[in-house]
């Protein structure tokens, strides 16, 4: 098992991860769970939507440990437990997603965690990853024992079979640790199984998104920053989001980058900034309908869109590498007649 991440503790007590390959963190130090609530759940208006709708469709881009997923499902069961759920998760790393399913968010009831585990039980790749994580002492210490018991209790026959066929003593140890007499009867989810569908796609999000049907009410875009993962912030990628979002749907993202906002605007989205009492949670809200806009962009933010900072990323055919996309934009910036962001900001200060 080769893992590309290490565990980091965030300020709200929840676990965050550092991706070694991308050289970036999955969540801000402000707090992984708080970030999900403040940057995605609240600004999206999801809870208000649930008060008047009995069906919801969500796309969670770069799910990571599933904080946005957990916060969204938690909101559903708090506000409208009769609501039918349809959620598609896009995540490249199956270990990160599996780690998240076995990690307990303190502010969310166990029932929500049990529900999510049940929904992904039939995914053999997730089962494989969970078993390997439970074997690993370095990561096992961060996993919740009740969730591990719930998982093992429902999958014990597979785990025992794997142990016999692979002669893997550690898998046997997992089985006996969590299925001892003390824990003979694993906890069961108290949630009903509604007409819902939860899926996760472990692939390049660009490939998957082209296969998805439309009608998403909410799209959470939580990818690494454009400088680290430009492939998910291109004009072409947002064009796909325009295709699959509902006419009244919205996109929320933590990014306030001028290039990201420009790409959204060029695709016909109305862009505003996220309303929040905490300035650390600045971000972007986008919808195809202006009536759903939130706080208008400031003069400074609007002006930056017309500088070199607002030059968008392009990904022809949605198959180019990060380096190719970055190189193209750097060339466009270098050859542009637009003013630099720094000179614009200096002129704005002088004007004021």
| 68 compared with 21, residue with greater pLDDT | 68
pTM of the model: 0.89
Report the percent of the chain where pLDDT is more than 70.
Answer: 80
Q: Which of 1-10, 183-192, 226-235 has the lowest mean pLDDT?
A: 183-192
- pLDDT tens digits along 48-102: 999 999 999 999 999 999 999 999 999 999 999 889 999 999 999 999 999 999 9
- Asked whether residue 142 carries a pLDDT value surpassing 70, the answer given is yes
- pLDDT tens digits along 240-254: 999 999 999 999 999
Average pLDDT over all residues of the chain: 87
- pLDDT tens digits along 127-138: 999 988 988 888
Q: What confidence score (pLDDT) does residue 153 get?
A: 81
Mark out the alpha helices in 189-321 (DSSP H runs): 205-209, 235-244, 258-266, 299-304
CA R_g for the chain: 22
What mean pLDDT is predicted for residues 331-348?
A: 93
What mean pLDDT is predicted for residues 325-336?
A: 98
- pLDDT tens digits along 277-301: 555 557 999 999 988 888 899 999 9
Q: What is the dihedral of CA 106, 222, 123, 70, to 10 degrees?
A: 30
307 and 344 in contact (C-beta within 8 Å)?
A: yes
- Asked whether residue 270 carries a pLDDT value surpassing 60, the answer given is yes
Q: What confidence score (pLDDT) does residue 244 get?
A: 98
Q: What is the dihedral of CA 146, 223, 41, 250, to 10 degrees?
A: -140
Burial label for 352, CB within 10 Å (0-12, 13-18, 19+), is exposed
**Distance (Å, rounded) from C-alpha 242 to C-alpha 264?**
9
Q: What confidence score (pLDDT) does residue 33 get?
A: 87
**Distance (Å, rounded) from C-alpha 152 to C-alpha 229?**
35
Burial label for 152, CB within 10 Å (0-12, 13-18, 19+), is buried
| 19 compared with 188, residue with greater pLDDT | 19
Instruction: Write out the two tokens for 200.
Output: 């996760």
Distances (CA, A) of 159 to 103, 116, 124, 174: 20, 20, 12, 8
């Amino acid at each position: 098992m080769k893992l590309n991440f290490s565990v980091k503790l965030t300020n709200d007590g929840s676990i965050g991860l550092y991706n070694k390959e991308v050289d970036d963190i999955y969540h801000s130090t402000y707090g992984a769970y708080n970030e999900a609530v403040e940057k995605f759940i609240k600004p999206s208006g999801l809870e208000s939507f649930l008060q008047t709708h009995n069906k919801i469709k969500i796309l969670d881009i770069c799910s990571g440990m599933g904080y946005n997923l957990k916060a969204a499902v938690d909101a559903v069961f708090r506000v409208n437990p009769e609501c039918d759920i349809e959620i598609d998760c896009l995540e490249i790393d199956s270990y990160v997603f599996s780690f998240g399913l076995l990690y307990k968010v303190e502010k969310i009831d166990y029932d929500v965690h049990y529900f999510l585990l049940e929904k992904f039980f039939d995914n053999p790749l997730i089962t494989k990853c969970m078993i390997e994580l439970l074997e690993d002492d370095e990561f096992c210490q961060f996993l919740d024992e009740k969730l591990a018991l719930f998982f093992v209790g429902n999958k014990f026959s597979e785990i025992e079979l794997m142990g016999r066929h692979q002669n893997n003593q550690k898998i046997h140890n997992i089985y006996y640790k969590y299925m001892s007499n003390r824990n003979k009867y694993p906890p069961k989810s108290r949630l009903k199984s509604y007409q819902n569908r939860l899926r996760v796609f472990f692939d390049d999000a660009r490939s998957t998104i082209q296969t998805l049907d439309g009608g998403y009410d909410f799209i959470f875009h939580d990818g690494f920053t454009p400088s680290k993962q430009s492939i998910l912030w291109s004009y072409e990628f947002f064009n796909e989001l325009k295709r699959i979002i509902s006419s009244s749907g919205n996109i929320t993202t933590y990014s306030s980058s001028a290039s990201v906002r420009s790409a959204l605007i060029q695709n016909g989205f109305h862009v505003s900034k996220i309303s929040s009492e905490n300035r650390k949670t600045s971000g972007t809200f986008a919808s195809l309908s202006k009536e759903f806009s939130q706080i208008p962009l400031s003069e400074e933010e609007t002006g930056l869109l017309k500088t070199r900072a607002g030059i968008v990323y392009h990904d022809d055919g949605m198959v180019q590498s990060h380096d190719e996309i970055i190189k193209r934009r750097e060339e466009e910036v270098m050859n542009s007649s637009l003013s630099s962001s720094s000179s614009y900001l200096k002129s704005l200060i002088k004007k004021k």
